[in-house]
Structure 1
Amino acid sequence: MHPEQIQTLIEQGLPGARAEVSGPDGVHFEARVICAAFAGQLPLARHRMVYAALGELMGGAIHALSLKTLTPEEAARA
């Protein structure tokens, strides 16, 4: 699996999201996801939203995914 594929799936599954995904070995990935829908959500809920966008790939083609989830306001401050 390529990082670009994961980026596309996240952005399609979370309308308005921007994702940056890296993962040189093809099974372990890191993603930074910025999405307005994260506002008011706890980190676990945000992660679940991303996992839902990836569906069955989690635990399969995507062995591990490290997430940093931010609202646009949080990203602007970072």
Structure 2
Amino acid sequence: MPMAADDIETMIRDAIPDAEVEITDLAGDGDHYAARVVAESFRGLTRIKQHQAVYRALGDRMGGVLHALQVTTAIPD
């Protein structure tokens, strides 16, 4: 069963409250998404740590309900 983009956004916002989150369905199938996450709380973290925070927010859904997620992270300008 595919995962809704709104559910992905909610899970990320719940785990990273200061995040601005933009979700794009890449294939129209509910299984392949791109997430752009911008958060001040990422400041000072490596890109790997930023991505790990996003994946941690999604828990066990990655690789299961959510097949693929392309992650882009940034800190606000």
- Name the TM-score, length of structure 2 as normaliser: 0.89
- 1:4 shift after superposition: 1.1
Q: 2:69 aligns with which of 44, 47, 65?
A: 65
Give the gaps of 5 or more residues in structure 1.
74-78
Q: For 2:63, what is the secondary structure of its paired residue?
A: coil
* Runs of 4+ more than 6 Å apart: none
Match in the other structure for 1:76: none
Q: For 1:19, what is the secondary structure of its paired residue?
A: strand
- 1:15 shift after superposition: 1.3
- Name the TM-score, length of structure 1 as normaliser: 0.88
C-alpha RMSD over aligned residues = 0.8
The aligned runs of 1:35-50 (5 Å cut-off) are: 35-50=39-54
Q: For 1:59, what is the secondary structure of its paired residue?
A: coil
Report the count of equivalent residues.
73
Give identity over the alignment, percent.
Answer: 40
Q: For 1:72, what is the secondary structure of its paired residue?
A: coil
